[in-house]
């Protein structure tokens, strides 16, 4: 029996991976995660904003084209990152 995921399942997993990639980049740029190359926390607010803006754009552009799970996940990630960004701006 073929147990490989359907095209829809694969696309969903890839979408979630894309969101997680931008989330990780944002958290690293906010100094919340160490840079894997240097092993140090480094802050780059402009880079963090760019990653958050990319996710924000993705949320707008994919509206009504995601599963409920995908939409909720993306929305939570964007909201959480914006909150961290604001906290780091103080």
pLDDT in tens, 27-75: 999 999 998 899 999 999 999 999 999 999 999 999 999 999 999 999 9
Write b or e for each residue in 36-64: b if 16 or more Cβ atoms lie within 10 A of its Cβ, otherwise e.
eeeeeeeeeeeebbebbebbbebbeeeee
**pLDDT surpassing 70 at residue 2:** no
pTM of the model: 0.90
> CA-based angle 49:52:53, to the nearest 5?
80
Provide the pLDDT for residue 89.
Answer: 85
pLDDT in tens, 4-34: 989 999 999 999 999 999 999 999 999 999 9
Contacts of 45 (CB under 8 A, 6+ apart): 29, 30, 85, 88, 89
Provide the pLDDT for residue 90.
Answer: 82
């Amino acid at each position: 029996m073929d147990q490989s995921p359907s095209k829809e399942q694969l696309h969903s997993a890839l979408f979630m991976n894309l969101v997680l990639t931008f989330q990780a980049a944002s958290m690293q740029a906010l100094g919340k995660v160490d840079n894997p190359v240097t092993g140090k926390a480094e802050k780059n607010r402009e880079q963090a904003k760019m990653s958050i803006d990319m996710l924000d754009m993705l949320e707008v552009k994919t509206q009504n084209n995601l599963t409920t799970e995908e939409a909720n996940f993306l929305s939570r990630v964007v909201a959480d990152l914006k909150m961290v960004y604001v906290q780091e701006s103080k």
